[in-house]
Structure 1
Amino acid sequence: MAGADRAHRLSDLARAGFQELSESRERLGMLAETLDIPVGWLLEKFSLAGDPDAALGRVLDIAERHPDVLGALDREQGERLALLVGASPALGDFFCRQPTRLDEVLAGGGRLVSEVEAKGRLLDAVAGLESEPAWNALRVRYRELLAEVMLFDLLEGRRGDPLAPFDEVAASLSALASGALEAGLAIARADLAAGADGGAPVPAERLAATRIAVVAMGKCGANELNVVSDVDVVFVVETVDPEIVDGDALIRVGTRLASEMMRAAHDPAFEPPLWQVDPNLRPEGRHGPLVRSLGSMMNYYERWAKAWEFQALLKARAIAGDIELGEEFVARTRAMVWASGSREDFVGSVQRMRQRVTEHIGEGDLEYQLKLGPGGLRDIEFSVQLLQLVHGQYDDRLHLRGTLPALHALVEGGYVARGDGERLAADYRRLRVLEHRLQLRDLRRTALMPRDEEGLRVLARSSGLARGGDELRRLWEATKREVRELHLKIFYAPLLSAVAALPEEELILGSDEARARLASIGFRDPDGAMRHLTALTRGTSRRARIQRNLMPVLLQWLAEGTDPDFGLLAFRRVSEANLETPWYLRLLRDGAEAAERLTQVLSNSKYAAELLESIPEAVAWLEKDESLRPSALPTLLEEMRALASRRESIDDAAAALRAVHRREVLRLAMGRLVDVIDDAEVALGLDAAHTALLDGLLLALVGAESRAGQGDRGAGESGAAAVELALIGMGRYGGRELGFASDIDIMAVYRAEEGVPAEAAARTAQRLISELRRLVSDPRFPVDLDFDLRPEGKSGPVARSLASYRSYYERWSLTWEAQALLRARPVAGSPGLGAAFVELADEIRFPSRFGENEVREVRRMKARVEAERLPHGADPKRHLKLGPGGISDVEWLVQLLQLRHGAEHAELRTVSTLSALAGADELGLIDAEGREALEEAWIFASQVRSALKLWTDRASDVLPFAREDLEGIAGVLGLPRGRTSELEERWLALSRRARAVFERAFFGFGEEDERFPAY
């Protein structure tokens, strides 16, 4: 009794791993009494279980429901039972339901299962049965065999290295899946013959004439299956005799067979489903036919399949049904699989496939994902597959299905360093063992690490990889870090050894292999990339050594951009421009975020890269968000005015001012590209940069004219001091709604001092504006001032006096000129004169009466703009400015509302399109839904125009067709790669909505029967 009492102490239970101490002590006593076994022995054996509490509960359940079964077990079998159900309470529940073969499973001590045996045992189980009874028999026999395999895994892991049995266990799990599908197909044939699937009975000769092959993809095809996993398959059918089963009948019968086979595995029945059979990797995915003939399959893969579909075929293996037919399908697709690495957009398709597997993961789950998260299993699998597809074009030794065999072949072939390959293989096995134990617990598909301490503790005990939850967490984090580091090293370090001929490297890729690998990660000009890498990394200098250490990571980041070739070239140029700058490499080495941001800027924007080359020290801004935010207008004005006043020469002053302007535009471009600022902040920053530049140039000009005028006064010249000058912002500049592609629309107004002849004042003003246009022109960064919105357009004088403007607007102005004035705003020069011009503009742009004749005139002008200004051959639906629902539609509608109602409503007296639109909503001139549609279309079109400028360094108003340009826009806007169709669909949807609102609101004025020509 003393020994029994001691065994019952709670501290002993705690040391054994129990958590529910009091309850477990009571349960142990009950079990000891039932089996007539000492409590101390039971406590010792349950201490071996991953979850002693769960193990004890399941063993008690079996004892209560099947006392004879449990009583017949010897002590060694009892120990194995505790180990098995402690790792898998779900198998404990299974044996509570189905205890018949429990002693046999435990007596053998666990074992591996071959595919031949699995098929034989599972076919025997379902022989002579139909539908649900057969399903249950299949599932029972499957789980008995699964228990044997997993018991082998647990016992082997406990005896030595827990990773050692993984390869054989994964192969056995794949064999069980093959056997289950073979048995499911046998059930399906029996059901179709009897019509038990709900369809008409199929005659025996038709079933016999129908050949169907089940081809496994993914882990099952690779003989690396999980404990519980989707089993990815495709179905191929052929007929033995076309006279018995013709083409249509073949597809019908094949579809019924495939459907019924899948039901056997995963439809509800008394015994729970095994796993999901997933046929969605078939041609056309879930939208394509479930089964295809071999000819139809080959036609699809030869004509329509995308590169990622050949990656999916990499692991294809015939596993059930007509094996000969399945092997013929696999054999006939091999050449296409190994040629896929040279297909157009190969890298993009692989990246999109990698992305698809993570799209549906909740944000909170990503860091807990063993499989799909950073440093997880998918990183290893995709790394190996990508290297196989790149180098397998030339090396048959890489034509392998399994991840681990392929990794070994990559090492033996010299594509991966031996030490790196061994570490990555160990990491893969470690993550897979953890995944197996997670799934084994509840026989449920999962790859999420536990978030609670208890879950981690149980997983550590079950896997044998750590002594406790904290240790397991540290091991997992270290494994993830190592996988990410090895991924980078395996992909990119060999490239550097190829171009730099580094003797200390463990391996050196040949130039052909290096080019292939560069092409595989997205470089279109591998030769050029190798030249740049050579220039950056060759040599023994400290700079070259640092670049070699940095380049693996930098190459990966460049490859994630839209144009890695241009990005690498620009990186080389920026690095050479910073050659004598001591902080540059230190920043890249120590400031990971700055380095990643630099590659993001260079590979996604020719506009920013060109600017950065002229201001290479701006790389330092990438370290801090604050350095990438717009400078305030007062700060810029102060800086520009100080520069203008300190320069002796007007040209020197202009050069200094343009340099500041260029600097600020670069700041905005970089801030936008790395998502520190948005487009609204860009608009304000561009407004400040342009305004400060114009203000500083005017100050320098007036000062120069004043100095020159003082020397000419004796000759009777009045000089520039006699003229007051103001610049009026128009269009998007006037509305403070600039993007990188926006023109700088302005008008010039002057006012002469009393007594100055009108002609002399006009000449002075014209000269000042002419000089301003010359000085603003930047050979490194084109800046053009557009005066075309002035009265009389290009044929009118470039500058007018305030009195001349008044006279013109009162006597001759057209409706469009009043409309243009809606966004007029003083931006530089004399504040008093600017204010006076605004007073004049208010009289014109907010008239007390705007009648039906004027409304009709606005409509006619809009019709002419669309008919005459749309470029010849352009698709109107893709024109962001003039197309239906584009910028023009929104602005013309807003401006019409302002012209009609601005005089009476202050909410509409604004130069901002979006503010006026909000005012119209407040006033009930447009409903909230309509406002939202117009606002979204206007904002999106503006964003795309800016993104196009950043991407191509060219202004365009047309949404491009070229995928590369659409990818460039997506890269600038921070949208996912490989989904350019969504970008197009979003614009077409937004513009359709906006056009509908425009037509309803724009033509709601005046005669109802007057219609505007629609596209």
Structure 2
Amino acid sequence: MTGSRDALTEKQQEHWTAFCQKAKATGSTFDPESEGARLLNTAFAFSDFVAAGCIHQPNMALDLIDSGDLLAPYDDDGMARRLNSQFQTMAETGPEAAVPSLLAALKPVLRTFRRREMVRIAVRDLTGFSDLDETMADLSALARAAIDGALNLLYAGQCAVDGIPRDSHGTRQRLVVIGMGKLGAGELNFSSDVDLIFTFPSGGQTEGDKAPVANEAFFTRLCRHLIQAIGETTTDGFVFRVDTRLRPYGDGGPLAMNFDHMEDYYQHQGREWERYALIKADVVAGDRKAGRELLLRLRPFVYRRYLDFGVFESLREMKRKISAEVRRKNLHDNIKLGSGGIREIEFFGQMFQLIRGGVLPVLQKPAIQFVLATLGREGFVPPAVCRELTDAYRFLRTAEHRLQEVDDRQTHALPADPGARLRLARSMGYDSWESFREILDGHRRKVRIHFDGLLETDSGSAGSGGREASGLVEAWSVAESTDERRRLLEAAGFPDGGAAAGLLRGFDAEPATRALSSAGRQRLEKLIPRLLEAAAGCDDPATVLQRVLQLLKCIQQRTSYLSLLIEYPTALTHLIRLVGASPWIAAFLSRHPVLLDELLDPRTLYAPPGPEALRTELERKLADVPEDDLEYQIEVLCIFRQVNTLKVAASDITSTLPLMKVSDHLTWIAETILDKVVEISWNHLVQKHGRPTCTLDGQICRRGFAVIGYGKLGGFELGYRSDLDLVFLHAADPGETVGGPRPIDNAHFFARLGQRVVHMLSTHTAAGMLYEVDMRLRPSGASGLLVSQIKGFEDYQSNDAWTWEHQALIRARPITGDAVLREAFSAIRHQILCRRRDPTSLKTDVRDMRERMRESRLEVQPDQIDIKEEAGAMVDIEFLVQYLVLQHAADRPELTRWTDNVRLLQALAETGILDQTAAYRLRQAYLIYRAVAHRLNLQEQSNRIDSHRFEHLRKMVQHFWQRTLAATPIRQSDDNP
């Protein structure tokens, strides 16, 4: 290897000597010891392209040194700015020969500029002055600048000849150039082709002095000129080889197509590989605004608005083709296409983009390193795997550049020549080929392992081929009679095979099942036997089967969900477990099948996040949603609520969370959503109308708006079906908003803010609705203002509110909004609750309200009681607590600290108002009632239970009620519940 090392050094020195001679011959003051010169000398060892370019054009090399361009990165528009300055030196041409003259002048300018910039990029890369990301960005910027600059000149020239293309409304039309692949992603390699698709907004014709030309003909001609300007090889070389085969219909399609035709093509004829290709599409030249609008129109084709597990089979076919090509073409030494190469890393990331990009917009960004980081951060792929793939990608892409920088030749094959191998190793920072190859092979082994693991199913999954599974396949798809199906099902573990057979027969006869496509039917044929086997292992197989089939009936038209349950056996396992435990969860999943994705990871499924984690998660989910897309924002919020509610329910039915923690988590979810809804609504109105001015008792309020939660939200007792009892407050000053294009009255601003908050919470979208909202507890109820001024609220509570409204205030607390206003509300609440009240009037008011409530809500059923409304049940305990707080808070102001019944009972005991035994018994009764009501909700049952259940608890509560609130209370000595 010493000889090879000497040969490399000698060749470098030979090139350097030749360059120095040429540089001095120019008459310039050339300092071979300058930093720029040393960079060139170093690069000469690794790149014949750099050496030859500098020797043949020493002035170019000297300009790179003298300008400082070798030593500093370009800013964002540095490449385009430099190229445009070169265009200004072109001789002006007459309009009669615009395009031929332009092409003749344009080609050498582009190629000279390209040579200079490619030498600069290679030198900076080879010497370590730029990292991989800067090198890819510079190469992509060079391509974009060349395409856009040439297009602008050629468009102006062709308009001078043919006239200006316009649509039917007279709007000027411009070409849109979409870059695909590495150009679209900003990841261009050193000697890459550019994959381009040409399009324009609308049909029409040109307008000018000559006969009109159809827009299609105009832009087709323009595209041919552009391809010639960029891709033609002349004596000066080429700029970029252009490939247009990714356009609709490929080589057989029109070179340029208008937006409507393009959208129609992808909607009706687009194939999976075209979705895969469009992941990396971006507008690189021409009418960028129109181009971005087109890509938004095509987004539903590329990214489904649901988890697209239906793409598995086509992805698996792509993967098979990749592996087959590696074997067939013996590509082992190809670092792009070979085993463990760049293509496999890109496939890894793009697979997740296709499947999840529709529901996680952040995955729609094309850069592979960003995608890998996102997959790790979001938990879809272990972070260690993402790090290994990213490290491998950076190593392989750097090696790819070093290979191509040798001769500016598009190659991905590792060299066979010992000298070329050593040069590659040394350019990568290794002393020998062996040490470089060891690291390279290590990266490729890891990539191959991760690539091979993609799309593989678990061979030990349900329905994997045993005798039971075989019989269940027959029970679903082969059995010709009900008796035969019953026998097969009973043999598999269904106690009542006839009932199970009837369920299958009914499901098979459903219109939705019969209407399935052939692909959907095939997926169902795979899934049902696995489902039957899983259900057979449950305590009540028929019930589980009935619930899961009901769910499948709702989701089977989106066959990608069937694919999810086939591809991920763990998801089916958890589905059976949860659905078997709760029909509410079964119905919940039927309404929101996007949640099936949550079944994939039991680490998060049974671990609902706390308040801080919820806020962080929601911020991340909304980060990439356009601020002006309200419907999409609401959909993201809905899915966020549904996902986290499912996690709470899963933890609840598996007893991971106790009852009070369940309510805490459901309350935190609502608080997080309310906070974000207020923020979104506030920002929208401020942008339109400016900011309202708000002060309260001399204090400036940042927003002057607060949301108060009452009832179960205020008392940290939310259930799965709870609505939100809300009151809105504001502290607006007289006058109008400031700083916006359309000022409005400050109070009117807050009325609109309240309306928008309610709208966001209660509007129906494709993803469902956030919450039912009840605003009737505001001052004057349904006839009152939607948003109350804080001083008006205080006056109402002090002078006009009924006793029941003060009872409601006990369970009220600020949820979100301005800190000054929240403190003011808490002070008002404390003041009102601590008022001294006439004991007799208070007792009468509370007792009468309870009776009116019972009469309006309670439906008497023989042998059943309502666990909430019956005498001695849950609401009686709540009224007892509220009465005692209102009666004693004047002397015991610490009673106003809490809003939930459990801690209020504890406070009543600590203050001596209740003895410890009575408080304990009431608290236990209340928790038991809540737990039972909670379980009834999960079982989708009403609040009615057998009349003999909890009889002793109800008697105890009734006795305490009589002692405390009866018109003629019983004596303490008579208390013997």
TM-score by length of 2: 0.44
